Structure 1
Amino acid sequence: MADALFSVVFDILIQRVHQAIAVAVDHDEISNLNLHVGFDSSHRKNTALHIAARVGNKKMVEALLSEGTPASLLTENSKHETPLHIAARSGHVHVVKFLIDWATQSTDVEAGGIQQVLRMRNMEGNTPLHEAVRNGHHSTVLVLVEANDSDLLVSLNNAGESPLFMAVDVRASEIVKTILPNSNPYSLLHRSSDGQTILHRAILRADLKTMKIIIQHMPELVNEKDSCGRSPLHYAAASGALALVDHLLQLKPSNGSFLDNNLATPAHMAAENGHLNVLKLFVKRCRYWVELLNNHHQNILHVAAQNGHLKVVRYIQNMFMVNDLLNETDEDGNTPLHLAAAKLHSSIVSTLVQTGNMDTTAINKKGETVLDIARKFQLVSPSNEGNEGTDGNQAQATPNKTGCAGDEKIEAKKQRTIEILKAASAKQAKKLEGILEQEDLIIESIRDKRRKEMAGTLIRHSPFPGGIQSEGPHQGMAVLTRKAAFKAFIVTDTVAMTTSMTAAVILFTSSWNDEKNKWNLHFIALQLLWMSLASMGLAFLTGLFTVLSHSMELAIMLKGGMEEPPFLGITKLARSLVLGSIRIRMFDVFERVLQEVSYVPQLNGNCISLVMLDQSGCTFKAEN
């Protein structure tokens, strides 16, 4: 019976292998094929069942299992692979399903049952599910997951990868979507050896679809960090995947997730890797990130200049034209220009110095200028790479594999960098000389400005005498409004101006009248002129008395002058002239005003009393 079955299987294998899978099955295995399951027939130790599983011939598998024993499912080849491993790796879903059903029906498969068949591991520690996932066979994975073995989903291979991690690595989003709902929630928090979650891995593969599936199922992974303290947003920024970064920012990750163990932000990662579009997005959404420093006290310009990303450097330079950012020093005292010169990034050095805002004379903590660092640059020969005592901050480069040609190219970059820095230093020195020449003018201008400011302050805050009120409810009103002498001055001055202007108008218009009217007008004008003269004299005296009333000498002089007959006679003469044709009693008012403002000094020992007379003859004493 065995010999007859051997002949049938051998004929089928020859036909199927050479017709359908000639490449997959090697002739050594076929020629050494032995029908007896479990019998090692080649150096690969594949049995007929292994080969049938690889071919995907369900009838052959069924025939072999029917002839053999249930334990044949656990038979391993030289790589510790069972027939289920091979069928799963090849994606023969009908064979996989048949093997699982066969194992399920066989209640005792070496006392392990179906779980033992599903959990068998090969040399790499992979289960059949690992093999199906790695090769992207979604339908096969679905069959294995439906076997309802929860431990199978969390089993790790020798590399520490679960089937879910492996699915993310191969960008098999549909497989991820199948495994996630069937996994234990705690198993989803599993991390790789470097602390990465499945979300970190999805972002490393720039797989937006898988990333969205993971976040939808476990949104808390957005804020999880790896062993270096880097969040998924750090990974997205480093990869330059703008769509991933934008999606993560929309989820508003926590503030504690944007700094890694080196205090680097996602903006640092974008600048370090030269991803300009990602950096622009950070400037738009999280502008304060771009001004933060890492643990080396480096801003994003330091990082971009050190790594030679010209477009990023230009963008930062144009976006942030601030000397504090452009000339900021790190923990070693190096500016971005120092770091660019240390790596001989001549294009970046040229770009930085062209704006004129970079300080080419800046000195780091070792006392080196940018030019000193460029001059120190030297190639490191392979024999000297491991020598002790080498300055870790000294600019160095490993010789190019192309030999002398590469060395000459580096030397040319060095010379170009030095020439750029020399020209920039000379230009800056000339500019500094011009500034020093104008220093005296600038200082004098500043002093003049301060003097003007001080004068303005004094004027605003110092009380100066004036004719009007400068403060209080009566601001703008005359200071002497309440004094009788000032009132008399206003009246007499107004009368003097009015009468003189009226007389002038009459004299001007009299020439247009006949002889009789002309003499009448001249007479009226003459009377007005006398009134104007008298009023002007009174206005002068009352105004003088108003501003100098506190002077005793002036009071005595005014009293003596006003008691003289000539003075009072002027008023009487003007009054007699107007009695004839014009009845004006204004001069009565003038006399009364003159009497009201008359002061009689009386000496009473050391006290001087001023007696003011009013119309009724009453006296008022005021002690001075």
Structure 2
Amino acid sequence: MYLSKKTIDLIKENSSSLYDNDNDAGGRRIKDSFLRQESPMGNTLLHVAAEYGNENLVENIISIRRELVHAENKKGDTPLHVAARGGHVSILRKLLVQCLSFFPYSQYPVEALDLILVRNKLGNTFFHEALLNGCKDVTGMLRSQETPFEDGFKEFIERAALFCINNEDKSVLYLAIERGYKEFVLDALFPSTSKITVLRYISYYPFQFLTWLTEKDETKDMSDILAKILRTKREWIRLKGAEGKIPIHFAASIGYVHGVEELLKTCSSCNMERDKDGLSPLHLACAGGHTKVVKKLLEHEDSPDPREILDNCGRNIAHIAAVMGKFNVIRYILQDGKHGLVEMINDKDYEGNTPLHLATLLWHPKVVHALTWDKRVVLTSVNDKKETALDASLKYSFQNPTLRQQLVWTALKSAGVAEKGSHSIEIHAQNDPKGIDMSPYKDRINTLILVSTLITTVTFAAGFTLPGGTNSSDPGKGMALMLNHALFKIFIFCNTISIYDSISVTITLLWAQLGDITLALSALKVARPLLGVTLATLSVAFLAGVHLVISDLSWFATTSLVLSVVLILMLLFLYVLLWFPSTSKNIVLRRISYYPFRFQTWLVEEDESKGM
């Protein structure tokens, strides 16, 4: 039998309709018919009473059917979870006492804990649910004298609860730190109102605790807690986790500047510690793009020569920043004048790769662009495979490349990076013309042919449908009425260019249909700028024609003219981006291409401002 909405309303009101009169006992007893009911989600009457904070009804139910205390609904929630979610601490205490009534005290540490810290489908205990819903009084409930347990068992529950992990690998203490519950954390670490000393139990998990603390944003005001812990338990700072990381690794990796400062004050040599991959805090700060932390670590008085800090692959911080595509770190290295960072920009790892090679292999166009514009970067370096950075880019992207790959290739080509291999599509086509799949290029060619044909049709029709019409009587029969108007001349001039350019594009692309890949690529290179001129002149012809026929209404004609000019410039900018930046080595074209290149890298790479 399902719990109805009517029954739930009765629970909210604590209605007498829920009870049978019990004259002998002098009290009231919940009706059996209600005790047998469940909601479609599997909630019992005790779940609902706990949710709405009906303490009297909770007492009545557990006095009759105490086994409902550990009944689970379809989400795995017990009444403990429901009461915690609603912040009903007094009901939680009653349910907790009832859970322990199933066991003698001698069995508390083994079996009773499983009932108290039962997890729902999300892996949350009732402590997790309380913290997630802003109820910070759960530990205080345990310490209260009203909770009739031995102090030792209270401490045991609290220790287990604080470090119990849910499905997201988050403990209750982690959630408290994450949500900025400073009082809760301080009370857990340094309780002043009872004999419980959770700090003693945290010593079982010091690495995890300091890691959680250093992972949190300093706006959560946890920095003073970190300082207090470090004064109390200085030995924790060097404890390592499974990956060989110590807390300063995590602080550096998330850009927690204040945490790094505090940890370095306690342990000045911690910036030399490496994890199992050989990564130091400096490596991890660069990998995260945190230039403030990088600067802080480099300026520390015990900081070693950054060129000597290498990971297990022989990579310095410039290599790491290039691998992760952290443009802001690369820019910081290139602009550095104090720490000799720029000297490592051409260093090679154990495979002979420079930062330029690595940024190329992982397709980070913004980093490649910054490196190729710096004259101190050696563009001719080859790795152990005898490949330049350009060879590396062509090796993996000679067919149907993505925009990121095209941008990387363009930056390298325009900078004049040498090509020693035979990975380019032109060379590949010469060696094995049948080995190239033409289908991606055919789609592009066919699309451009369709566009150029449509433009030809439109411009041809416009040539015989002149703005303003033609003279229908002598003299000058058939001549345009606005022949002497300046804008009419612009219309005819632009329309003429547009039609012949579109025809030229069509003819050029017909050559590309002959099946030769080299010819197809050459045709595409010629067709794109021609089509751009066609679209530009067609737009200007439209502007001139419309302005002619509405010129008598000056405000309307002026508004239309301004709007058309702005839109034409915007459309031209978008089209120019298709064939700019240029691969030309000419310095003028390179500089013209600079900002279009930056705009396109902005489109394909994420913003790093948070890592600054």
Q: Is residue 2:310 matched to residue 1:293?
A: yes
Structure 2 SS opposite 1:378: coil
Counterpart in the other structure of 1:317: 334
Counterpart in the other structure of 2:116: 119
Counterpart in the other structure of 1:361: 380
The alpha-carbon deviation at position 198 of structure 1 amounts to 1.5
Counterpart in the other structure of 1:52: 49
Question: How many corresponding residue pairs?
Answer: 376
Say whether the 8 Å CA contact 1:308–1:340 is kept in structure 2: yes
The alpha-carbon deviation at position 235 of structure 1 amounts to 0.9
For 1:276, which of 276, 283, 291 is the aligned residue? 291
Aligned equivalents of 1:162, 1:408: Cα separation in 2: 43
The alpha-carbon deviation at position 14 of structure 1 amounts to 6.0
For 2:141, which of 140, 143, 154 is the aligned residue? 143
The 3 A distance-change label for structure 1 pair 34 and 293 is farther
Counterpart in the other structure of 2:241: 226
Q: Is residue 2:355 matched to residue 1:336?
A: yes
Say whether the 8 Å CA contact 1:153–1:164 is kept in structure 2: no
Counterpart in the other structure of 1:213: 225
The 3 A distance-change label for structure 1 pair 177 and 266 is same
Q: Is residue 2:323 matched to residue 1:306?
A: yes
The alpha-carbon deviation at position 200 of structure 1 amounts to 0.8
For 2:210, which of 194, 199, 206 is the aligned residue? 199
Say whether the 8 Å CA contact 1:344–1:417 is kept in structure 2: no
Structure 2 SS opposite 1:295: coil
Say whether the 8 Å CA contact 1:196–1:227 is kept in structure 2: no
Say whether the 8 Å CA contact 1:206–1:241 is kept in structure 2: yes
Aligned equivalents of 2:119, 2:367: Cα separation in 1: 53
Counterpart in the other structure of 2:158: 153
Counterpart in the other structure of 1:596: none
Counterpart in the other structure of 1:129: 127
Aligned equivalents of 1:246, 1:71: Cα separation in 2: 53
Counterpart in the other structure of 1:351: 370
Aligned equivalents of 1:265, 1:157: Cα separation in 2: 28
Q: 1 or 2 for the larger relative contact order (CA 8 Å, sep ≥6)?
A: 2
Q: Which amino acid aligns with 1:54?
A: E
Aligned equivalents of 1:241, 1:369: Cα separation in 2: 37
Deviations 1:381-402 (A, max 9, x none): xxxxxxxxxxxxxxxxxxxxxx
The alpha-carbon deviation at position 333 of structure 1 amounts to 0.9
Structure 2 SS opposite 1:235: helix
Aligned equivalents of 1:86, 1:79: Cα separation in 2: 11
The alpha-carbon deviation at position 163 of structure 1 amounts to 3.3
Deviations 1:100-143 (A, max 9, x none): 5x649xx9446579964872514345443333234331123321
Q: Is residue 2:260 matched to residue 1:237?
A: no
Q: Which amino acid aligns with 1:331?
A: Y
Which residues of structure 2 form unaligned runs of 5+?
16-29, 191-195, 421-584, 586-612
Say whether the 8 Å CA contact 1:323–1:358 is kept in structure 2: no
Q: Which amino acid aligns with 1:333?
A: G
CA radius of gyration, larger in? 1
Deviations 1:11-35 (A, max 9, x none): 6326579xxxxxxxxxxxxxxx975
Say whether the 8 Å CA contact 1:153–1:163 is kept in structure 2: no
Aligned equivalents of 1:230, 1:283: Cα separation in 2: 19
The alpha-carbon deviation at position 359 of structure 1 amounts to 2.1
Counterpart in the other structure of 2:202: 188
Say whether the 8 Å CA contact 1:224–1:257 is kept in structure 2: no
For 2:416, which of 412, 417, 421 is the aligned residue? 421
Percent of pairs with identical residues: 27
Q: Which amino acid aligns with 1:364?
A: N
The 3 A distance-change label for structure 1 pair 177 and 331 is same
Say whether the 8 Å CA contact 1:84–1:128 is kept in structure 2: yes
The 3 A distance-change label for structure 1 pair 137 and 373 is same
Aligned equivalents of 1:89, 1:34: Cα separation in 2: 27
TM-score (norm 1): 0.52
TM-score (norm 2): 0.53
Counterpart in the other structure of 1:167: 176
